[in-house]
Amino acid sequence: MRLRSLVAAVAVSALGVSLAACGGSDSGDSSNGGGGGDATLTYWASNQGTSLDNDKQVLTPVLEKFTQETGVKVNLEVIGWNDLQTRIQTAITSGQAPDVVNIGNTWAASLQATDAFLPFDGDAMNAIGGKDKFVPTALATGGKEGTDPTSVPLYGLAYGLYYNKAMFAAAGLQPPKTWEEMVTAAQKLTNPAKKQWGMALAAGSYTENVHFAFINAAQNKADWFDADGKPTFTGDGNVQGVLRYLDLMQKDKVANPSNAQYDNGTKSVNDFATKKVAMVINQNNADSSIVANGMKAGEYGVVPFPAPSGGEQVASHVAGINLSIFKNTKNKDAALKFVKYMTDATTQTTLGKPFSSLPVLKDAKPVFTTDAAEAATFADVYNTKSKPLPLVPAEDQFESTVGKAMNGLFAKIATGGTVTADDVKTALKTAEDQVAASS
Amino acid sequence: MSVATEKAPAAAVPEPRATKKKRGPDHRPGLSRKLPYLLLAPAVLLELLIHIIPMLVGIWMSFVKLTKFFIANWSAAPWAGFDNYRVALDFDNAVGEGLLKSFGVTVAFSLITLALAWCLGMAAAVALQPPFKGRSLVRTLFLVPYALPAYAGILTWNFMLQRDTGAVNHLLVDNLGLVSDRPFWLIGGNALVSLITVAVWKLWPFAFLTLMAGLQSIPRDVYEAASVDGAGSIRQWRNITLPSLRPVNLVLVLVLFLWTFSDFNTPYVLFGTAQPPAGDLITFHIYNASFLTWNFGSGAAMSVLLLIFLMIVTGAYLLITGRRSRRA
C-alpha cells in the first residue's frame, strides 16, 4: 500500500509540473559558420503564399540568387502562422535560434522587450541600406518609439473592403464611403433564406477580431494604452467601437452567425471568392486566395474600410511582416547582408506579386495586382489611412486578451444571446485586468 | 506536449513489482548486490531527467517573475515570492476568477467523462465476456479509438461538429429533423457536451481493455456455482464481478481521473485558438496563461497549484480505499 501511494504520488507530481515545463522542444538548428567555407544562415519565413510549399517555391530562387551574389548559404524553413509565435518564443527561451526570422510586425515591441534581437542601431542600419529607404510609418512598427528598432519592414499589408462588383451593380449600389453606407449595402445584399449574406467576418479569429477592435476604436479616436503604457481598454470609444463591429452580426444581421466559428481570415475570404457574400474586409494578401478560388481580378473592387460619418479616417492598422536578426547569431555580417538583400528594390519587386504585398520602400510601386485602382486604394490606405497598433511591450497581451474577449462575445451573439455596451465593457475590463496583472 | 503526461502513471505503476522480483538466490554475492541498482540506474536517471528536474524547474519558475522581459536570460528574472500565487488565488481579480471558473469546468468535465468512460468500458467488457463467434472482431473494433492517433481522431470530430458542414448537424437537422435551428457544437454552452463526447470516445477503450483483462482472471466456476445457487446476472455482476475487479478498478479510476483532469490534446485540437469558456479546461487555461501572455511564472504557479490539488485528491483516494481494503 505504502509503495503504491508513493508511486502514485510521483506519477501525479510528474503529471502536474510537466505541464509547466513543457513547451515544444523543437528548436531551429543554430547555424554555425565555421565548417570550412562560407557562412550558412538559418532563415525562418512566415507563410505568405497560398501554402507552405508555395512559399518555399517562391523563396528558393530568391535565396539561391543571394547565395550566388554573396557566397552565403541560406537554410530556409517556412513556418505556419499558428506555430510561428510559439517557435520564436521557444527559440528565445532556449537560445537555439535561427539567424534571421520573420515576425508579424505587431509583435515587434513585445519581442523587442525580450532583448533577444539585434537592435538596428546606426551601424547595423547603414549596413542594410539606411533607414531612409523605408516608408516611415512602416519602419515605425519596428520597435518601441524612440528606440533602435529590432526589426525592419519586409512585406507591407493593409486592410481594404473587398466588394463583389456584379452583386453591387445588380442591386444598384455604389461602393460605400461611410460605415452607414456599408451597413445599408450589406443589408440589401443579405438574404439568409438564399444563404446570401452581405459580409463575412472572421469572427472566431482572435487576431482578426483584435485588429477590428483597434481600427473601430481608432475611428472613434480612442487609444488602447496611455502614454505610460497602461491599458485603457474600457474607454467609451473603445467599447462603442467594439460594439459597432459586433453589431454587424447582432443588430445589422449582415453576417452569418456561423462566422463565429471562422477561426482564420481565409475562411471569410473563401466565402467572398465563392460569391456567398458580397463584401469582406481583409488585408491585400487576400488577392491570392480570391484568385485561387476562381474569382477573376476584374470581378471585385476594393475601397478603404469606411469609418462612420464624422469619425476619424482610419481604415487599417499598419499591417505587415518584419525581419529580425537574433542577437546571438554567429553570422552577424552575413545576416545583415541578407536583410539588406531582402529589403532591396529588386527583391521587393520579385516577391511583391506572389505574396500580394505592398512595398515597404519609399517611392516603390505596388506590383501585387494588375488592377491600377486596387493598387492605388491599398497604397493610399497603407500610406495615409493606417495607424500602427500600440507600440508597447504589452501589445501581444492586448491582442490575445481583447481578441479572445471578442471571440466570446461573437459566440454569445451567434448562439442567441444579446451583447450590450455594458457586456462589452465588462469583457474589456476583464481583458484589461489580465494585462495589468502580468505586466 | 502531453506524451510525458499521459505515460507517467502507466509507466510508473509496474516498477515496484519489477524490483521485488530481483531478490532471487544468486551465487555471486558482489554482483547480486549491485545488479538491481545497475538495472534500475537508467530508469532512475531518465526519471530524474524527464520528470524530477523539469518539475523542480517548474516549481522554481513559479516563484520568479518570468515574463517576456526575462525569457532570453532566465537567471536574471527577479524573485517574486508568492506574488504569482497571490494573483492566481485572488478570485476577485480577472486572472484568479478565470482560473477558478476553469477549475470548475474541469472538475465537471473529469467526473462526467470518468463516469461515462467507466460505464461504457464495463458494459462492453461484461458483454464480451462469454465467448461467441466474432468476439475478437468486436473487441478489435472497440479498441479503434484508442489505437487512432489522438490528433487525427479529434480533428475528425472537429470536422463533424462544424455548424454548417458537419456530419452531426447533417444527421440531426437535415436527416432526422430533430432540431430546426442548426446548433453550434464548438462554441457556446454545447462546447462542454462536445468536449465530453470526444474525451469519452477517446478514453473508454482503455477502461474496456483494462476491465476485460481483469475479467479474465475471475474463474468461470464461481459464476457457475452462483447460477446454480440461483443468482441472476445482475446479482452475479454485483457480488462476483465487481468485488473481484476491485484492485483493477482502484488503479483504473485513479488513472482515468488523472488523465481526464490533465487532458490537453482534446481541447487543444478540438477548439484550436478559439476555445469557448464552456470548454476551458485547466491545462489549456494554464497553457494560455503562460504561452499567450508570455508570463511563465504565473503559469508555473497555476501548475503547482494543480499539482497540489491532484496530490491531495490522490492521497485522499488512496487513503480511503486503502483503509477499506484493510478492513475487508
Q: Do A103 and A92 contact (CB within 8 A), yes or no?
A: no
Using pLDDT thresholds of 50, 70 and 90, give the confidence band for residue B327: low
Minimal C-alpha gap between B195 and chain A (Å): 16
Fill in the amino acid letter for A226: D
Q: Do B67 and A438 contact (CB within 8 A), yes or no?
A: yes
- For chain A, domain boundaries: 26-157+318-387, 159-317+394-437
Residues 6+ positions from A428 with CB-CB distance below 8 Å: A233, A234, A238, A239, A242, A402, A405
Using CA atoms in the order A151, A156, A161, A164, what is the torsion angle rounded to 10 degrees?
-140
For residue range A65-119, list pLDDT tens digits in order.
Answer: 999 999 999 999 999 887 898 899 889 988 899 999 999 999 999 999 999 999 9
Over 70: is that where the pLDDT of A182 sits?
yes
Contacts of B19 in chain A (CB under 8 A): none
Burial of A344 (0-12, 13-18, 19+ CB in 10 A): middle
Contacts of B307 in chain A (CB under 8 A): 12-13, 15-17
Q: What's the whole-model pTM score?
A: 0.83
Cβ-based neighbour number of residue B144 at 10 Å: 10
Model pLDDT, residue B15: 46
Contacts of B296 in chain A (CB under 8 A): 20
Burial of A260 (0-12, 13-18, 19+ CB in 10 A): buried
Of the candidates A12, A82, A258, which has its C-beta nearest B314's C-beta?
A12
Model pLDDT, residue A82: 75
Strands A159-164 vs A300-303: parallel, antiparallel or unpaired = antiparallel
The SS3 call for residue A289 is helix
Q: Do B27 and A21 contact (CB within 8 A), yes or no?
A: no
Contacts of A433 in chain B (CB under 8 A): 93-95
Which positions 22-61 of B are in contact with A (Cβ < 8 Å)? Answer: 47, 50-52, 54-55, 57-59, 61
B307 contact A CB<8A: yes
For residue range B62-71, list pLDDT tens digits in order.
Answer: 999 888 888 8
Q: Do B22 and B43 contact (CB within 8 A), yes or no?
A: no
Model pLDDT, residue A380: 92
C-alpha cell at A106: 505587431
Of the candidates A14, A261, A439, which has its C-beta nearest B8's C-beta?
A14
CB contact under 8 Å between A15 and B258, yes or no, is yes
Query: In this predicted model, which residue has the larger pLDDT, B187 or A20?
Result: B187
Over 60: is that where the pLDDT of A16 sits?
no
Domains within chain B, CATH numbers bracketed:
1-61 (no CATH), 81-327 (1.10.3720.10)
For residue range A362-383, list pLDDT tens digits in order.
Answer: 888 888 888 889 999 999 999 8
Asked if A26-157+318-387 and A159-317+394-437 have one fold, the answer is yes
Q: Do A25 and A87 contact (CB within 8 A), yes or no?
A: no
For residue range A348-361, list pLDDT tens digits in order.
Answer: 999 998 888 998 99
Query: Mean pLDDT, to the nearest integer, of B249-262?
Result: 93
Q: Do A374 and A158 contact (CB within 8 A), yes or no?
A: no
Minimal C-alpha gap between A205 and chain B (Å): 7
C-alpha cell at A365: 510601386
Over 60: is that where the pLDDT of A209 sits?
yes
Q: Which of the given ranges, A25-34, A129-138, A235-244, A372-381, has the highest pLDDT on average? A: A235-244
CB contact under 8 Å between A414 and B187, yes or no, is yes
CB contact under 8 Å between A20 and B273, yes or no, is no
Over 70: is that where the pLDDT of A6 sits?
no
Model pLDDT, residue A423: 96
Contacts of A260 in chain B (CB under 8 A): 184, 187
Among A1, A2, A12, the residue to mutate for chain B (most B Cβ within 10 A):
A12
Q: Quickly tell me which residue has 547555424 as its cell.
A: A31
Measuring CA to CA, how many Å separate A20 from each of A7, B37, B87, B299? 21, 31, 17, 7
Strand runs labelled E in A284-435 = 300-303, 316-317, 319-325, 386-387
Model pLDDT, residue B20: 47
Over 70: is that where the pLDDT of A15 sits?
no
**Arithmetic mean of pLDDT over chain A:** 88
Fold of A26-157+318-387: D-Maltodextrin-Binding Protein; domain 2 (3.40.190)
CB contact under 8 Å between B293 and A82, yes or no, is no
- Residue A390: which region, alpha, beta or left (left: phi > 0; alpha: psi -120 to 50)? beta
Fold of A159-317+394-437: D-Maltodextrin-Binding Protein; domain 2 (3.40.190)
Q: What is the DSSP string of A5-63?
A: HHHHHHHHHHHHHHHHH-S----PPPP-S-SSSS-EEEEEEE--SSSHHHHHHHHHHHH
CB contact under 8 Å between B55 and A15, yes or no, is no
Which positions 149-168 of B are in contact with A (Cβ < 8 Å)? Answer: 162-164
**Residue A300 phi, psi dihedral angles, 5° rounding:** -130, 155
Cβ-based neighbour number of residue B123 at 10 Å: 14
Model pLDDT, residue A369: 85
CB contact under 8 Å between B13 and A114, yes or no, is no
Model pLDDT, residue A439: 63
Over 80: is that where the pLDDT of B3 sits?
no
Using pLDDT thresholds of 50, 70 and 90, give the confidence band for residue B29: low
Reduced 3-state DSSP string for chain B: CCHHHHHHHHHHCCHHHHHHHCCCCCCCHHHHHHHHHHHHHHHHHHHHHHHHHHHHHHHHHCCECCCCCCCCCHHHCCECCCHHHHHHHCCCCHHHHHHHHHHHHHHHHHHHHHHHHHHHHHHHHHHCCCCCCCHHHHHHHHHHHHHCCHHHHHHHHHHHCCCCCCHHHHHHHHHCCCCCCCCCCCCCCHHHHHHHHHHHHHHHHHHHHHHHHHHHCCCHHHHHHHHHCCCCHHHHHHHHHHHHCHHHHHHHHHHHHHHHHCCCHHHHHHHCCCCCHHHCCHHHHHHHHHHHCCCHHHHHHHHHHHHHHHHHHHHHHHHHHHHHHHHC
* Rounded-to-integer distance, Cα A57 and Cα A55, Å: 5
Model pLDDT, residue A65: 96
**Arithmetic mean of pLDDT over chain B:** 86
Model pLDDT, residue A20: 42
Of the candidates B12, B69, B293, which has its C-beta nearest A397's C-beta?
B293
C-alpha cell at B246: 476491485
C-alpha cell at A108: 515587434
For residue range B231-247, list pLDDT tens digits in order.
Answer: 888 898 998 899 999 99
Model pLDDT, residue A417: 92
What is the crossing angle of helices A2-21 and B53-61, to 10°?
A: 60
Contacts of A418 in chain B (CB under 8 A): none
The SS3 call for residue A280 is strand
Cβ-based neighbour number of residue B237 at 10 Å: 15
Model pLDDT, residue B233: 86
Contacts of A203 in chain B (CB under 8 A): none
Over 80: is that where the pLDDT of B283 sits?
yes
Query: In this predicted model, which residue has the larger pLDDT, A36 or B60?
Result: B60
Angle at CA B284, nearest 5°, toward B282 and B287?
110
Percent of chain A with pLDDT over 70: 91
CB contact under 8 Å between B1 and A24, yes or no, is yes
CB contact under 8 Å between B318 and A1, yes or no, is yes
For residue range B107-124, list pLDDT tens digits in order.
Answer: 999 999 999 999 999 999
Model pLDDT, residue B92: 86
C-alpha cell at A204: 472566431
Strands A159-164 vs A40-46: parallel, antiparallel or unpaired = unpaired
Of the candidates A7, A15, A260, which has its C-beta nearest B16's C-beta?
A7
Among A17, A92, A234, the residue to mutate for chain B (most B Cβ within 10 A):
A17
Model pLDDT, residue A51: 83
Least confident segment among A344-353, A406-415, B96-105, B292-301: B292-301
Of the candidates A7, A13, A95, which has its C-beta nearest B55's C-beta?
A13
Minimal C-alpha gap between A193 and chain B (Å): 13
For residue range B114-161, list pLDDT tens digits in order.
Answer: 999 999 999 999 999 888 899 889 999 999 998 899 899 999 999 999
Residues 6+ positions from A253 with CB-CB distance below 8 Å: A187, A190
Model pLDDT, residue B25: 53
Contacts of A432 in chain B (CB under 8 A): 94
Query: Mean pLDDT, to the nearest integer, of A3-29?
Result: 44
The SS3 call for residue A106 is helix
CB contact under 8 Å between A16 and B264, yes or no, is no
Of the candidates B163, B258, B326, which has its C-beta nearest A12's C-beta?
B258
Model pLDDT, residue A164: 96
Of the candidates A17, A115, A261, which has its C-beta nearest B304's C-beta?
A17
